[in-house]
Amino acid sequence: MEAEQDFLTAIAKGKHRRGAGARLRKIIAKREHQQYGRLACFCCGRVITVNTSTIEHILPQSLGGTWGIDNLALSHSECNAKRNNTPTPRFTVV
């Protein structure tokens, strides 16, 4: 099995395998939980689960955002679609 850092490097370079999204969501969720103590949607701040989340680019790709782990967060699919490519600050988790 690939090491997590090797996997993230491949994602950032666009060299990931099909179906890598589930693994990437788990890695993002782990980081978010460590940082904020819970999982919350990047856009609205409501509670989210790994299985019901989508991967959100903090700085949209259309505006120069990358697949680097620091530019990825979790969001509800509705929030992700509504946000589109608008730069939006992270919802403050209290």
pLDDT grade, residue 92 (50/70/90)? low
- DSSP for 35-94? HHSS-B-TTT--B--STTEEEEESS-GGGT--S-GGGEEEEEHHHHHHHTT---PPPPP-
**Per-residue pLDDT, 41:** 92
pLDDT one-digit tens code per residue, 37-78: 889 999 898 999 999 899 999 988 889 988 888 899 999 999
Domain ranges of the chain: 27-94
For helices 4-12 and 21-36, angle between their N-to-C axes, nearest 10 degrees? 110
Distance of CA 62 to the CA centre of its chain: 16
pLDDT in tens, 4-39: 778 878 777 777 667 788 888 998 999 888 888 889
